[in-house]
A and B are shown apart, each in its own frame.
With several copies, the nearest count.
Chain A
Amino acid sequence: MSSKIFNSAAEALAGQLSDGMVVAAGGFGLCGVPVDLIMALRDSNAKDLTVIGNNVGCDDHGMWHVLANGQIKKVILSFAGDNKILAQAFMSNEIDIEFNPQGTLAERLRAGGAGIPAFFTRTGYGTIIAEGKETRQFPNPDGTLDWFVMESGLTADISLVKAWKADTEGNLVYRKTARNFNPMIASAGRLTIAEVEEIVPVGSLDPDSVHTPGIFVDRIVASTMREKHIERPTTRPRATKETV
């Protein structure tokens, strides 16, 4: 089989991008973000992109660079508060922002990857999120009726994800809360590229503990990022009498 391993993020993206594409990227804040792939997307200068992700970048990080480079037409996200350019571009109507409840966004991506074009959720009923969407009642297990909103599945032309380890088959393992949106985004891409901290030989991952099976991953690159950033370092004081 031709190898899924590519030498760099730029090579993995080469020839795959075109203007107007839908690109999804994993990450929550600065955690679990495919930084190299996003910088390669920025360097591609592909324009009029629709970008899907929980945050679509934080100031000076990740998708912020693609946004600052004027490549984005529309974003589909849950939280823009970490990204001043985005918030300003929205206020000035330069960019179309579609806000989603975080769980709805996660489920829309999972649905898209799993061949489900639409589903119903209680989330957002009676709010502006439900405006223009179909709503209807369904019974709860106890027989009472509640109102639900119909939401659609989301897919992407290209999905960019960040994992901890990949084997050469493309099986991915994530680390701690860096998992976040990555598994669903991996499943929702027509082409999925994974940026990983370590590429391990096939057979070295526990098959019971693979988070994203290789069927979802088309290309793999080793991350060049050596230092992970922290948005809000928070600590507790060590007890004063603690013995080391």
Chain B
Amino acid sequence: MPWNRDEMAARAAGELRDGYYVNLGIGIPTLVANMVPEGMTVTLQSENGLLGIGPFPYEGELDPDLINAGKQTITDLPGSSYFSSADSFGMIRGGHVHLSILGGMEVSQNGDLANWMVPGKMIKGMGGAMDLVAGVRRIVVVMDHCDKTGDSKFKSECTLPLTGKGVVDMLITDLGVFEIDRRGDSGATLLEIAPGVSLDEIRAKTQAEFALGPGVR
């Protein structure tokens, strides 16, 4: 059976390491915040100017001056710090954030990512997505393997306008986990298959080319 949203987030949480500074996108990536392994310290960055995101506030304790990049009310933590958007993206662009987990519309086998616009539809803007994928050291994308019509979203080449070229290190879908050699020539490698999903099913549903990792068959 393919992974559900929580299972995909849990798999993404497996990429966290003790001491990491991490930026989480909206949607499934946000769920990762609640899945930090016991005993591990991970500091969450909000690109609108906060290091150290706390849990959502209790009813009656909302602070309009304290929101995350998705405009939700949040809290801070002991050890948090606030800074300007320029300083925040200095952190991001300068490679100080270890990991970003983001949603995607399309990923290509060489690590291109499209997740900000669909031609002809209302354009919302890329916000901080282009900066995150260009600057954060390691990019993990979490998305459904196929779109609503059943077409593969993991492609040989993206068809939508790109968010970044050669930026994705790992793709986690409901069907499996792929590693992508975005700086080299080795392309994509299937590392894990969701329990109960067959390699044949992944092959049938994937337009991208990929190699098989050790133990995957």
A80 vs B123: C-alpha distance in the bound complex, in angstroms?
7
Q: Is residue A32 within 8 Å, beta carbon to beta carbon, of the partner chain?
A: yes
Q: Report B71-97 CB contacts with A as 1/0, cut-off 8 Å.
A: 111101011111111111111111111
Q: Using Cβ atoms and an 8 Å threshold, which residues of chain A touch B55?
A: 236
A199 vs B71: C-alpha distance in the bound complex, in angstroms?
28
B93, B122, B161, B163: the one within 8 Å of A87 (CB): B122
Flag if B97 contacts A128 (CB, 8 Å): no
Look across to chain A and name the residue whose beta carbon is closest to the beta carbon of B63.
A176
A78, A91, A168, A183: the one within 8 Å of B84 (CB): A183
Q: Is residue A31 within 8 Å, beta carbon to beta carbon, of the partner chain?
A: yes
Q: Using Cβ atoms and an 8 Å threshold, which residues of chain B touch A180?
A: 48-49, 84-85
A112 vs B95: C-alpha distance in the bound complex, in angstroms?
10
A79, A214, A234, A236: the one within 8 Å of B124 (CB): A79
Q: Using Cβ atoms and an 8 Å threshold, which residues of chain B touch A230?
A: 62, 64, 67, 73
Flag if A2 contacts B19 (CB, 8 Å): yes
The secondary-structure label for the interface of chain A is loop
The size bracket of the interface on B is 35 or more
Flag if B128 contacts A113 (CB, 8 Å): no
Interface residues of A in 78-119 (CB under 8 A from B): 78-82, 87, 90-91, 97, 99, 101-104, 106-107, 109-110, 112-116
Q: Tell me the smallest distance from the CB of B135 to a CB of chain A, in Å.
A: 5
Q: Which of A11-19, A38-46, A205-213 contacts B (4 or more CB under 8 A)?
A: A205-213
A116, A144, A178: the one within 8 Å of B93 (CB): A116
B18, B48, B164: the one within 8 Å of A177 (CB): B48
Flag if A232 contacts B71 (CB, 8 Å): yes
Q: Tell me the smallest distance from the CB of A165 to a CB of chain B, in Å.
A: 13
Flag if B84 contacts A80 (CB, 8 Å): no
A105 vs B21: C-alpha distance in the bound complex, in angstroms?
23
Flag if A215 contacts B79 (CB, 8 Å): no
A235 vs B86: C-alpha distance in the bound complex, in angstroms?
28
